[in-house]
Amino acid sequence: MTGSWWREAVLYQVYPRSFADGNGDGIGDLRGLIDRLEYLEWLGIDGIWLNPIHPSPDVDWGYDVSDYLSVHPDLGALEDVDRLVHEAAERGIRVLLDLVPNHTSIRHPWFREHPEYYVWADRVPNNWRAVFGGPAWELDSASGRYYLHNFAPEQPDLDWWSPEVRSEFDRILRFWFDRGVAGFRIDVAHALVKDRELRDDLPATEEDHPHTRAEGIRRVNSMNRPETHEILREWRVLADAYAPPRVLLGEAYVLDVPAWARYYGTGSDELDLAFNFALVHSQLEAEQLRAVVAETEASLPEGAWTCWIGSNHDAGRLATRWCAGDETLARCALLMLLTLRGTPCLYHGDELGLTDGEVPPERVLDVAEPSRDPCRTPMPWTRDGGWTEPWLPLADTTHNVEDQRSDGDSTLSLVRDLIAARRRLPDLSHGAYEEVPTPPGAWAWRRGGGVVVALNLGERRVEIEPVIGTIMLSTDRNRDGEPVAGRLSLDPAQGVVVECS
Ligand code: GLC
Ligand code: CA
């Protein structure tokens, strides 16, 4: 549907424990987030996605939910969610929560009271591997049977063939939608239904994406089953019954772009948005990025809209992963994310050019190997961080909101200006994407009739032609306002948005 708010939106991921602490106990919380809504409005954010906020033993930091209908006491209470939704709305910001439907915590009462909600076998039935390593089956000593866990053993997988599981989740979705939550980011949206006969997964082959190949298996039966689409279609109907329709943003972690695009269904009957992980797994290199965007454009069904990210709480921060800490390159990456066709979603700290933090081994809290804690360190608000003894160590506080907010040349100011430009020039949010020929190392594209974006990710100065207009925004702010009449020259690690005349 054209006109849906999220097509024009810039989304922002908040990792609640690390965003802002409202009561000084070192753990970010909902009150802290509410206090920072002013900042998000100033930045121009339209919607926030919060990682899970529910009660959880925190083996996987909220992704092991023990009660889907309330709030983790570290983070606040139900009233705080209501206040957040209300106060965010007053600033034009919508709130998306994280839905974790693939598995619960082993401490969820369902695991003992409704064992039939989970996937069981009398003996290890197949070769399925857990994402966090080791076999995906664990012996439950109480019953003498094995249960499935695609992630940690403390995260038993639900059985999505069960109609009761489906109605429980319908209730969960409605509970939050009724409270004014604008939508859900859906955790492992590609994994819900398991092969009914529990057949083996396949060995990965040369044809698989390098990441899948490195894992050694192609998950065709433990994940990625076609039956999962049916669930997404049911949720779409449920979400569309609300006004405005609630958003389904999927973590469909599929790197084969055409297969990933199938999670949009026909383009309006499954996910509204899905994170584009093929881009995340590319290097910041013109040819690779261009290829992912071209394949995305070619694969999305009519009306479907992608969601661009460069960072999240799993993949690491873009300033480290893509740019090895080079802030000039990080500015190019941010300019790219905010000008491609689709909805960008920034991870808090991206707007500062923040890199991954350092977490000494004795402070690591993550269940996964290698630890994802470096990209989960607290948001630096001031030069001393603005935290008292945070749960994870503070990263580099030379990148902080206070300093960058008052500096017109900062990465934060660039991001804010890019977001404002999207509002001023509808072509930047809506316009069709069309490649512009460039020399090697560079990548340029036209958005609609009126805008050209060009990036030089190579090591040599390049000239792109013909472009006529004015540089509206540049990663090198000295070039803002520069007229372009014909050739556009770009230094290495430079990006520009040109308003064409
Ligand atoms: C998703 C989450 C990740 C979590 C996993 C299991 O990939 O983003 O943080 O560990 O699902 O729930
Ligand atoms: Ca707190």
Does the C-beta of 366 come closer than 6 Å to ligand 1?
no
Q: What is the pLDDT of residue 1?
A: 43
Among 151, 223, 254, which residue has the most ligand 1 atoms within 8 Å of its CB, making it the best to mutate? 151
The two three-digit tokens of residue 366, written as one number: 């993550």
Does the C-beta of 187 come closer than 6 Å to ligand 1?
yes
Among 63, 150, 311, which residue has the most ligand 1 atoms within 8 Å of its CB, making it the best to mutate? 63
Query: Cα separation of 397 and 382, whole Å?
Result: 7
51 Cα to the center of ligand 1, angstroms: 10
Select from 341, 332, 334 the least CA-distant residue to 492. Answer: 332
The tens-digit pLDDT sequence of the chain (501 residues) is: 446 999 999 999 999 999 999 999 999 999 999 999 999 999 999 999 999 999 999 999 999 999 999 999 999 999 999 999 999 999 999 999 999 999 999 999 999 999 999 999 999 999 999 999 999 999 999 999 999 999 999 999 999 999 999 999 999 999 999 999 999 999 999 999 999 999 999 999 999 999 999 889 999 999 999 999 999 999 999 999 999 999 999 999 999 999 999 999 999 999 999 999 999 999 999 999 999 999 999 999 999 999 999 999 999 999 999 999 999 999 999 999 999 999 999 999 999 999 999 999 999 999 999 999 999 999 999 999 999 999 999 989 999 999 999 999 999 999 999 999 999 999 999 999 999 999 999 999 999 999 999 999 999 999 998 889 999 999 999 999 999 998 999 999 999 999 999
The partner residues of 469 in beta bridges, in order of sequence, read 484, 500
Ligand having the closest approach to the CA of 378: 2
DSSP 215-251: H-EE-SSSS--TTHHHHHHHHHHHHHTSSSPPEEEE-
Q: Report whether 411 contacts 327 (CB < 8 A).
A: yes
475: CB partners within 8 A, 6+ apart: 328, 331, 332, 335, 414, 493, 494, 495, 496
Among 102, 131, 281, 314, which residue has the most ligand 1 atoms within 8 Å of its CB, making it the best to mutate? 314
Query: Cα separation of 278 and 260, whole Å?
Result: 9
Ligand having the closest approach to the CA of 75: 2
Among 157, 201, 208, 251, the active-site one is 251
Q: Can the peptide bond before residue 370 be classed as cis, meaning omega within 30 degrees of 0?
A: yes
* Degrees, nearest 5: CA angle 128-133-137: 40
- As a 3-state breakdown, the chain gives helix, strand, coil percent values, each rounded to 5, of 30, 20, 50
Ligand having the closest approach to the CA of 32: 2
- Which atom of ligand 1 lies at the shortest distance from residue 372's CA? 9
Buried residues in 474-483 as b, exposed as e (16+ CB within 10 A): bbbeebeeee
The two three-digit tokens of residue 322, written as one number: 């893509």
Q: Report whether 270 contacts 236 (CB < 8 A).
A: yes
Whether residue 187 lies in the annotated active site: yes
Residue 293, helix vs strand vs coil: helix
- Exposure of 35 by Cβ count < 10 A (0-12 exposed, 13-18 middle, 19+ buried)? middle
Tell me, what amino acid is at 103?
Answer: H
Whether residue 251 lies in the annotated active site: yes
Does the C-beta of 60 come closer than 6 Å to ligand 1?
yes
Q: How many residues does the chain have?
A: 501
**Reported pTM:** 0.98
The two three-digit tokens of residue 184, written as one number: 């859900």
- Please list the alpha-helical segments (H only) found in 300-410: 318-321, 327-337, 401-405
- Which helix (DSSP H) or strand (DSSP E) does residue 417 occupy? helix 411-424
- Which atom of ligand 1 lies at the shortest distance from residue 60's CA? 10
Does the C-beta of 314 come closer than 6 Å to ligand 1?
yes
Select from 296, 300, 339 the least CA-distant residue to 444. Answer: 339
Query: Cα separation of 115 and 112, whole Å?
Result: 6
Select from 297, 225, 304, 315 the least CA-distant residue to 270. Answer: 304
Query: Cα separation of 108 and 135, whole Å?
Result: 22
Q: What confidence tens digit (pLDDT) does each residue in 309-319 have?
A: 999 999 999 99
Instruction: Provide Rg for the chain, Cα atoms.
Output: 22
Residue whose Cα lies nearest atom 3 of ligand 1: it is: 314
Q: What confidence tens digit (pLDDT) does each residue in 71-101 have?
A: 999 999 999 999 999 999 999 999 999 999 9
425 Cα to the center of ligand 2, angstroms: 39
